[in-house]
Chain A
């Protein structure tokens, strides 16, 4: 029996390098050497959306994406949305904007409920958290008519749509845009990125959502882990360039990657 499962040696090496890099940057941040992380422009967009809601005295809708937490495919997106929800709810509570969170995730509902309640408490306004209205659970099919009708009748001033979105993307975005809302959309799933980018005023694509979650946590150690992820990308670029050159030279580079 081999030490490492056949076909997974390179994968193990890449994983070890990435985890090592992330841990290295985390350690350096704990020692006070923070990595230089570019500020995401969408962070300012969140403040802009909240300010718009306060000025217009209308709601901000935070619409997490679909998928249940038992689905490992969408779980990273769902977890990163929790971090952003905490920040947005606290900011809304601080500035007096009313936030409404319709969610499709039955297990996530409980976590989101606690996150929002604690955010209101942290802002010193626990009485403003309405357990029936601030966050509401809808099964998947019911969400569509609720968003469309709700956008028409309640006219939110702004909306944040983050998570795994499927065909509902264009329905939600179009309904919200039509009622005059300014929107920030983000997804880490591949199939509705074009609609997210085209139909929203601001967008987060792919890992920008995870980065946003780390950034908004205000923990510089977490922010530094983003630098570790970039090491993985440099590694991927190096392997790609090396692979192109070696394959052009006739070497079986693809076979080497599956040893």
Chain B
């Protein structure tokens, strides 16, 4: 049998046409949004409840492992978490396990400074301890002895003992609550193993949706208290705090992109099986 069936020709559709389709859908939905109902999932509610539960004035450990690639989906939940904690006069000790977070830190602080009802003072409300190399080994060493690993200085080279926020803080056990923004590297189990479990810190994570199956185990056992799960988690957090922004806007475009993907999978399979039934390979 010579020649391709119409179904085979449809299956061999140039990938650029498929990619153009998703581009058009996302662009249109961003430029011309429509109203859709927005139910909040249990993960989003759980994360909101966790941040609300943190007592006022607590010193919180915040591992900022965000990257430029995950910034669009995780920045909203990160900055709103930071804002909520500052509004309760909590103090935040930052460090990061990814090199890119160095550049993002300043941007996030500036955003939260604008959102905050008061001026944030470095060394009193927050401190930046810089990049800790070595992923798991580095995290273990850092959480054992912060001053040992940082050399007793912050990211600017100033002695951390000169800042009031670091009084009595030298290890993972000195944080009753901790938040780990793990980006998309799936380092959540690592922080549960090396921070939450050994030191008893109540831990929540901000992570890509892709990591959810891997961390559902820990949510089920209570080893992880909550997760802000990707773009949906950011959108839900914006919705629950009344600070609708970029994540909420993006979720509509992503929803329609998801619909397009489902249609592609279904159509691809329909064409494939029809082509096969007509003698194609």
Q: What is the interface of chain A, defined by CB distance below 8 A to chain B?
A: 68, 70-73, 166-167, 178, 189-192
Judged by DSSP, the binding face of A is: loop
Interface size on B, residues (CB 8 A): 18
**B210, A192: Cβ atoms closer than 8 Å:** yes
Q: How far is the CB of B135 from chain A (nearest CB, A)?
A: 4
**A191, B211: Cβ atoms closer than 8 Å:** yes
**B214, A190: Cβ atoms closer than 8 Å:** yes
Q: Could you say which of B135, B189, B208 contacts A70, with CB atoms under 8 Å apart?
A: B135
Which of B56-64, B156-164, B166-174, B180-188 lies at the interface with chain A? Answer: B180-188
**B136, A191: Cβ atoms closer than 8 Å:** no
Provide 8 A-B residue pairs closer than 8 Å at the C-beta atoms, listed in order of the A residue: A70-B134, A70-B135, A70-B138, A71-B136, A72-B136, A166-B186, A190-B186, A190-B214
Q: How far is the CB of B163 from chain A (nearest CB, A)?
A: 29
Q: How far is the CB of A191 from chain B (nearest CB, A)?
A: 5
Q: Which residue of B lies closest to A178 (CB)?
A: B15
Q: How far is the CB of B260 from chain A (nearest CB, A)?
A: 16
Q: How far is the CB of B171 from chain A (nearest CB, A)?
A: 17
CA A190 – CA B184 in complex, angstroms?
Answer: 12
Q: How far is the CB of A249 from chain B (nearest CB, A)?
A: 21
**A167, B210: Cβ atoms closer than 8 Å:** yes
Q: What is the interface of chain B, defined by CB distance below 8 A to chain A?
A: 15, 133-138, 184-187, 189-190, 208, 210-211, 213-214
**A167, B184: Cβ atoms closer than 8 Å:** yes
Contacts of A68 in B (CB 8 A): 135
Closest 8 CB pairs of A and B: A71-B135, A190-B214, A72-B136, A70-B134, A191-B210, A191-B186, A191-B214, A73-B190
Judged by DSSP, the binding face of B is: helix
**A191, B133: Cβ atoms closer than 8 Å:** no
Contacts of B135 in A (CB 8 A): 68, 70-73
CA A2 – CA B133 in complex, angstroms?
Answer: 34
Contacts of A70 in B (CB 8 A): 133-135, 137-138
CA A192 – CA B210 in complex, angstroms?
Answer: 8
Q: Which residue of A lies closest to B210 (CB)?
A: A191
Contacts of B15 in A (CB 8 A): 178
Q: How far is the CB of B272 from chain A (nearest CB, A)?
A: 14
**B213, A73: Cβ atoms closer than 8 Å:** no
**A166, B185: Cβ atoms closer than 8 Å:** yes
Contacts of A167 in B (CB 8 A): 184, 208, 210
Contacts of A192 in B (CB 8 A): 210
Q: Other than the known A71-B136, A167-B210, what 10 A-B pairs have Cβ atoms closer than 8 Å?
A: A68-B135, A73-B135, A73-B136, A73-B187, A73-B189, A166-B184, A178-B15, A189-B186, A190-B214, A191-B213
> By CB atoms of chain A within 10 A, which of B135, B137, B187, B211 has the most?
B135
CA A68 – CA B213 in complex, angstroms?
Answer: 23
CA A72 – CA B214 in complex, angstroms?
Answer: 17
Q: How far is the CB of B65 from chain A (nearest CB, A)?
A: 12
Q: Which residue of A lies closest to B189 (CB)?
A: A73
Contacts of A190 in B (CB 8 A): 186, 213-214
Q: How far is the CB of B209 from chain A (nearest CB, A)?
A: 10
Contacts of B208 in A (CB 8 A): 167
Q: Which residue of A lies closest to B194 (CB)?
A: A72
Q: How far is the CB of A205 from chain B (nearest CB, A)?
A: 14
CA A190 – CA B15 in complex, angstroms?
Answer: 28
Q: Which residue of B lies closest to A175 (CB)?
A: B15
Contacts of A73 in B (CB 8 A): 135-136, 187, 189-190
Q: How far is the CB of A47 from chain B (nearest CB, A)?
A: 25
Contacts of B187 in A (CB 8 A): 73
Contacts of B190 in A (CB 8 A): 73
Q: How far is the CB of B19 from chain A (nearest CB, A)?
A: 11
